[in-house]
Amino acid sequence: MPETDLTRLNKYIASNGILSRRKIDDLITQGRVDVNGVTIMELGYKINAAKDKVDVDGQRIKPVTKKIYIMLNKPDSVITSLSDEKRRRTVMDLVKINDKIFPVGRLDYHTTGLLLLTNDGEFANKLMSPKSKIYKTYVVKLSKPLEEKHRLKLTGGVRLEKVKTLPAKIDFITEKDYSNLKISISEGKNRQVRKMFEHYGYFVRALHRSAYAGLKLEKMKFGEWRHLTKDEVEILNSK
């Protein structure tokens, strides 16, 4: 069979499942993925998507024919997860649809704002990849005014856990108010914005993601969600 007719196993599952390629690779190395009844533990393994049957943890991966792209304005005290052991409210309790979808990345429990959800794993993988350099903008309320010397250091990148962050953009919302600002970053490390400010002794009192890859919440209320338009999806796919 020509090489062009084959598809990488992790890409096939991501395109038709509810996981990113990185998590799928973990499942493969753990021996939880079968192709035609045979366990595959080889990363980079390729299949014939038209004929081969793929199972993850014993459940058949079925081709997704309808791609779903949703924008949610996540409220405070909501988990960015499909479920929660402590029975806390999750984003899936807000976006109630029959189709299986999953969050693109995550927002912390007390972080509000723009969150994307989809059933298109390749789409999610592209947006979350550091190589794509997708900018995310957050509105931040600090415990004290941000000093200029710290603003300059933050915009140039700060070393967190032995890794230096990429340059950030910081703008104050109003003149002479240095406690409320907007910061744009092209990374998405765990609690990154909070850790960046904490590094210089600032406590983040409130954190709200107002924009993602050019998308904005506009007038959406907390807990509201909507499907992305065709144009919005095309723009994101072109990133």
- The DSSP secondary-structure symbol of 46 reads E
C-alpha span between 56 and 174 (Å, rounded):
51
- Whether 57 sits among the annotated catalytic residues: the reply is no
Q: How far apart are CA 194 and CA 217, in angstroms?
A: 21
Helices (H) and strands (E) in the chain, counts: 7, 17
Only one residue has tokens 């002794």, namely 201
What's the distance, CA 109 to chain centroid?
14
The catalytic residue among 34, 52, 55, 108 is 108
* Sequence-separated (6 or more) residues with CB below 8 Å from residue 55: 33, 34, 61
Catalytic residues: 108
